[in-house]
Structure 1
Amino acid sequence: MRQLSIIALCLLIAVLLAGVGGVYAYDSGRDDLIAEGVRVGAVDVGGLRATEARALVRDRLLEPLQEPLLIRVGDESFPLSAREARIRADISAMVADAVRRSREGSVFSRTWRGLTGGQVRARIAPTVGYSEAAVQRLVDRVRVKMSRDAVDAKVDFAAQNLTVRESKTGRTIDAKRLRAKVRTALVSTAGERTVRAELEKVQPKVSSGRLADRYPVVLTVDRGGFRIRLFKNLKEVKSYPIALGEAGQETPSGLYNIANKAVNPAWNVPNSDWAGDLAGTVVPGGTPENPLKARWMGIYDGVGVHGTADRASIGSNASKGCIRMLIEDVKVLYDQVPVGAPIYID
């Protein structure tokens, strides 16, 4: 009886060993088999051997990525080939990861799963690479071609008129957003290889409608016609006769601003031969010796607009560089011109 028990135990051990050996043999024969339910990206590789999976992933994942990527901006197109983008994918690593996930667990759990049709719910993220420099070059190409600087409104000054140059709205591309969209499209296996970019408006700093606000008052001096003109909000409202600098002491041309103003100004006499005994002195305002009558609007380097008692000089080159006006005219003009107002001398 005891001998029979020993024989039975030995038989049981032999059966168990045979079973375990069979399990290990079954499992070792599936060491490169990917479990059902495993995907690489959107590619179902479940039930495939590693070699088969690599071929399928190459066909389903890598091949679509070889199609050119296209950026569309309105009617313009900007292509980027896979070669330029240096598209690359480590298919072997992705499949190896799929096999590794399939081999998780014990030999017995894997065998049971294989025999019963169980699945491993796993999705392997595709590892796709590209050239960041190529992306940057593409976005730069789009930006340079499609962007346009905004143009501020401006005024062209002339002796007799002011010409307004209209502002223009610019446009640009959000380069940061476009780069992100290109990066996403380059590694997408969904088949969509077109990226659409929108142009954004760039408003000018100075619009045509706001230009008059920047130039509420402008003076222009027509040296050939001996006239000074007053413009308000870029429209001429009045002109006055003037006298200008004589030969050798011409009134300077150019664009200036009214630097200072004074009523009955003192005269700081230049140290010049023509000033005679008054050279280097200060002549009080309102005195007969002071030629700066009634009002003063300084321009540049001792030159300014002022009233004169020499009415006969109006319409001629008679001053030492200043702009002379009739006293009644300079009083009216003075009250309408603030410090800082532009004055253009042609």
Structure 2
Amino acid sequence: MLARPVIAVAALLVALAAIAAAIVVYDHGQQDKIGKGVTIGGVDVGGLKRDAAETKLRQQILAPLNREITVDHGSRRWRLTAREAKVATNLDATVADAVARSRQGNLLKRTWRGVTGEQLDARLQPEVTFSDAAVIRLLDRVRKSVNRPAMNATIKFAVSGPTTTPSHEGLALDATALHQKIKAALGSPTATRRFSASTHHVAPAVSTDKLIAQNATTLVVNREAFKLTVFKNLKEVKSYSVAIGAVGLDTPAGLYHIQNKAVDPAWTEPNSDWVPVADRGKVIPGGTPENPLKSRWLGIFNGAGIHGVDPSEYGTIGHAASHGCVRMRIADVEDLYPRVPVGAPIFIA
């Protein structure tokens, strides 16, 4: 009677030993296999052996990462190869990590997962590296070809009047946005790798309209023709006959600006050879017969200016007869005065 229980126990032990051996053998066979529910970079590698997983990842992750980046603008195109960008990824290490996670837990837990197909739900991301300096070099190539500097308007004064060279808008690459897009693409096997370079216009610091506004009123004195001309918005609006400085007391040539204005200006007799020593520095009140400036004054430079002249000296108009100033008939200087603001350029040729 005792033999039967012994036999039963022995049989159970043998069965358990067989099961244990089977579990060991099974687990040994799974040691290089990735568990169900494991993805690497979004690619399902569950149930694959290490070599098979690496092959699949090279096809679905590494190959796309090795495609070149292309940037275009109009008909022009620039390329950045994976080699130039030094694109690299740690797929082998990530696969090893996936295998290690699949081997977590004791022998029975691992076997139970394998037999039942229990999901690990492990989402691994391989590390992708690249050279940002290479991306910047690509952007520099695009920028050099695409960018166009803004051109400021310029003005030139001549005896015939002021003329302008018009302004032009510039063009600039939207480099920051493109930089971010390329970096994101280099690190993602699913991202687009072709981009159109966007640009924005760059306004000139001095536009044509701004330059015209700055020179809304300009004066030109043609000494040879004894003529003063007023230009409004670069167009001639009025001319006057004038007298200019006599030989040796020449009206100064060049570009100046109206420094000051006055109605019935006082006159301080200058420290000049043509003024008696006793009278130098003497102030002659405005509006008096002795005051030679007559009615209006527009200062130009170093004591020289535009002013009226006594009717008795109207005969000097059209001649080099003054002490350096621009003389005008009283009616003419009074007509000119409100047309010209302080700061207006005056070109004396």
Answer whether TM exceeds 0.5 for this pair: yes
Q: For the Cα contact (< 8 Å) 1:73–1:199, is it kept in 2?
A: no
Q: Deviations over 1:188-221 (max 9, x none)?
A: 3127321212122223344444544333322222
> In structure 2, how many angstroms separate the alpha carbons of the residues matched to 1:221 and 1:107?
105
Q: Deviations over 1:110-169 (max 9, x none)?
A: 322222334433332231111111111111221221011222334322222222322222
Does residue 215 of the first structure (1) align with residue 215 of the second (2)? yes
Report 1:193-208 matches (<5 A).
193-208=193-208
* 2:272 corresponding residue in structure 1: 272
Q: For the Cα contact (< 8 Å) 1:185–1:195, is it kept in 2?
A: no
> In structure 2, how many angstroms separate the alpha carbons of the residues matched to 1:213 and 1:95?
70
Please give the TM-score of this superposition, normalised by the length of structure 1. Answer: 0.89
Partner of 1:335: helix, strand, or coil? helix
Q: For the Cα contact (< 8 Å) 1:221–1:345, is it kept in 2?
A: yes
> In structure 1, how many angstroms separate the alpha carbons of the residues matched to 2:259 and 2:145?
45
> In structure 2, how many angstroms separate the alpha carbons of the residues matched to 1:125 and 1:101?
14
* 1:141 corresponding residue in structure 2: 141
Q: Which amino acid aligns with 1:139?
A: L
Q: Which amino acid aligns with 2:282?
A: T
Q: CA 1:237 to 1:3, structure 2 compared with 1: closer, same or farther past 3 Å?
A: same
Q: For the Cα contact (< 8 Å) 1:273–1:279, is it kept in 2?
A: no
> In structure 2, how many angstroms separate the alpha carbons of the residues matched to 1:93 and 1:314?
97
Partner of 2:243: helix, strand, or coil? strand
Q: Which amino acid aligns with 1:19?
A: I
The alpha carbon displacement at 1:183 in A equals 0.6
Q: Deviations over 1:225-279 (max 9, x none)?
A: 2211112222211011112223333222333221111111122233222222322
> In structure 1, how many angstroms separate the alpha carbons of the residues matched to 2:105 and 2:168?
68
* 1:172 corresponding residue in structure 2: 172
Please give the TM-score of this superposition, normalised by the length of structure 2. Answer: 0.88
> In structure 1, how many angstroms separate the alpha carbons of the residues matched to 2:89 and 2:336?
79
Partner of 2:275: helix, strand, or coil? helix
Q: Which amino acid aligns with 2:34?
A: I
Q: CA 1:292 to 1:58, structure 2 compared with 1: closer, same or farther past 3 Å?
A: same
* 1:336 corresponding residue in structure 2: 339
> In structure 2, how many angstroms separate the alpha carbons of the residues matched to 1:32 and 1:251?
100
> In structure 1, how many angstroms separate the alpha carbons of the residues matched to 2:193 and 2:44?
22
Q: CA 1:303 to 1:15, structure 2 compared with 1: closer, same or farther past 3 Å?
A: farther
Report 1:1-346 matches (<5 A).
12=12, 15-16=15-16, 18-190=18-190, 192-277=192-277, 278-309=279-310, 310-346=313-349
> In structure 1, how many angstroms separate the alpha carbons of the residues matched to 2:81 and 2:326?
69
> In structure 1, how many angstroms separate the alpha carbons of the residues matched to 2:2 and 2:307?
141
Q: For the Cα contact (< 8 Å) 2:182–2:193, is it kept in 1?
A: no
Q: Which amino acid aligns with 2:187?
A: V
Sequence identity of aligned pairs in percent? 47
Gaps of 5+ in 1: none
Larger displacement relative to structure 2 (177-186 or 244-253): 244-253
Q: Which amino acid aligns with 2:101?
A: R
Larger displacement relative to structure 2 (312-321 or 131-140): 312-321
> In structure 2, how many angstroms separate the alpha carbons of the residues matched to 1:56 and 1:117?
21
The alpha carbon displacement at 1:334 in A equals 0.5
Aligned CA-pair RMSD: 2.6
Q: Deviations over 1:52-99 (max 9, x none)?
A: 322332343223322321111121111112222111112222212322
Larger displacement relative to structure 2 (194-203 or 33-42): 33-42
Q: For the Cα contact (< 8 Å) 1:270–1:279, is it kept in 2?
A: yes
Q: For the Cα contact (< 8 Å) 1:160–1:229, is it kept in 2?
A: no
The alpha carbon displacement at 1:177 in A equals 0.3
The alpha carbon displacement at 1:332 in A equals 0.7
Q: Which amino acid aligns with 2:107?
A: V
Larger displacement relative to structure 2 (128-137 or 185-194): 185-194
> In structure 2, how many angstroms separate the alpha carbons of the residues matched to 1:124 and 1:99?
11
Aligned length: 346
Q: Deviations over 1:265-305 (max 9, x none)?
A: 12223322222232233222233443222111112222211
Larger displacement relative to structure 2 (128-137 or 254-263): 254-263
The alpha carbon displacement at 1:16 in A equals 4.1
